[in-house]
Structure 1
């Protein structure tokens, strides 16, 4: 626990219970994104009721990597422990990506995140390796497979107050209707909070609120796909949590550029706006090229295997 005693809650009350109390208030909870101990202290000292451990922020700022599923559960759990300790009594909502594997891996992930001191664990229905929710070409697992992961997460909790957040990334590849359908299914499966990633218009934000019967989380990504929406509007629609993953990271990058320019540095040219540009700073294009290289190798191997199998089949016919 932080020696600075952030907040006024009784430390005997679990982090999950403190977050549930905030959700029960009926007000919109604003959760700035944090990725290190310093940011956690800043959020706590500025009086925010909760914080969000951003996987993208940990990847970019902690490891110099783009948010394309390169971090391991061990790396994220250790960062969660650091941040939760610095936050003190301020509950932490923690990104756990896809759970780092199948349902059995989700069980281990949930137990490890709980030991790290988080209040809520966010899981998503992307296929591994996942991507930032505001990048193109995302792939999903079957909704039933994700429901199995949710059941595993709910059963694995040692503290029944630990909040399980179910995120669907279906809006991009499958459309808003499928995203809302999945959100409803995940709520029915027992998720405590539901998160439809990257709605693209205010109408879609309103439609999610009207059609999904569950406490809702929304992601406000500066320069992302979702329109910036006023907190009062979100609260009136019934959203309960608004995460702002880039609240500290974006300004830190801009201030860093400004400082380095004053020292005589040359700013990089041709960066893409928004989250993709941030990931390009830490090697998105290079990592994408690596992935494509081995994907092509795999495709060639698959074609070769099919050819061999076909040859064997033809040989068997000839000898019949």
Structure 2
């Protein structure tokens, strides 16, 4: 599956990677036609722990959640966040191996405040866990610092870089110009405001190959659940709330044919 991710990084177009958070959401993403999905720390923290994404979800919890997604994904590769459990190069290797056993094909590694330590982690991962695709997220107090970190991480062995907070065409163009040949990934944060949303054609021309959508599905699911709960409280029913038909749920979870694994077939949701 990591080969599929690497192929996306050398393609001439953008691949959108939606966030998933449980087997049902993973099955829905696959049935919608997505070629890769993303398990973010924020999604795990919200849906498993009911907490904000302040490094609340441990690497063990992310691996545990990832391990139940495999049957629903049917071979579609899974990316996962790597913010905790990656303190030293040795810790990074151990955690990446645990992720790999859980079915994770790629990681988004957050660099933190110390770029030199991040480079050491990346080099260790590239050498010792080459079967896991590595997206290095680079932060910085300025665009110049972010670019310098991206350059260092690519040189250390990262498969792609994610310049944190860089979304405007001019800034992405500068990153692209200074890092020729390095695939770029962006995080289409649900909290981002102000910048014009670039089209896929524009992003592809700027060197962007993956666009992550970590929380769109979580927010949509929780909004729908909120409407259902409010309707039950106010009216005693959900007749006026848009819902997935029960028969579709049965098909999604494999109950309609007596099986326990979700079937990867096209259904109308």
Q: TM-score, normalised by structure 2?
A: 0.80
CA offsets, 1:237-287, max 9 Å, x none? 12110111122012122222322332347xxxxxxxxxxxxxxxxxxxxxx
Moved beyond 6 Å, runs of 4+: none
SS across alignment from 1:27: coil
Structure 2: distance between partners of 1:69 and 1:42: 27
Match of 1:162 in 2: 132
Query: 2:2, 2:131 within 8 Å by CA — same for their partners in 1?
Result: yes
- The one of 183, 202, 210 aligned to 1:241: 210
Matched, 1:224 2:192: yes
Structure 2: distance between partners of 1:215 and 1:31: 15
Structure 2: distance between partners of 1:68 and 1:164: 22
Matched, 1:144 2:111: no
SS across alignment from 1:195: strand
Match of 1:80 in 2: 66
Query: 2:82, 2:108 within 8 Å by CA — same for their partners in 1?
Result: yes
191-200 or 204-213, which deviates more: 204-213
- Report deviation, 1:163: 0.9
Paired residues, number:
232
Matched, 1:195 2:171: no
CA offsets, 1:101-132, max 9 Å, x none? 22111011111111112221121111xxxxxx
- Report deviation, 1:176: 1.3
SS across alignment from 1:240: strand
Matched, 1:184 2:151: yes
- The one of 32, 36, 56 aligned to 2:18: 32
Matched, 1:253 2:222: yes
- Give the number of the structure with larger relative contact order, counting CA–CA contacts within 8 Å between residues 6 or more apart: 2
Match of 2:246 in 1: none
Query: 1:34, 1:52 within 8 Å by CA — same for their partners in 2?
Result: yes
Matches for 1:100-119 after TM superposition, within 5 Å? 100-119=86-105
Structure 1: gaps (5+ residues): 1-14, 127-139, 266-320
The 3 A distance-change label for structure 1 pair 98 and 182 is: farther
Query: 2:107, 2:134 within 8 Å by CA — same for their partners in 1?
Result: yes
- The structure with the larger Rg is 1
Structure 1: distance between partners of 2:4 and 2:62: 22
SS across alignment from 1:263: helix
Q: TM-score, normalised by structure 1?
A: 0.68
Structure 2: distance between partners of 1:25 and 1:257: 39
Structure 2: gaps (5+ residues): 235-269
Match of 1:50 in 2: 36
SS across alignment from 2:17: strand
Structure 2: distance between partners of 1:254 and 1:210: 41
Structure 2: distance between partners of 1:218 and 1:81: 25
The 3 A distance-change label for structure 1 pair 201 and 21 is: closer
Structure 2: distance between partners of 1:120 and 1:151: 15
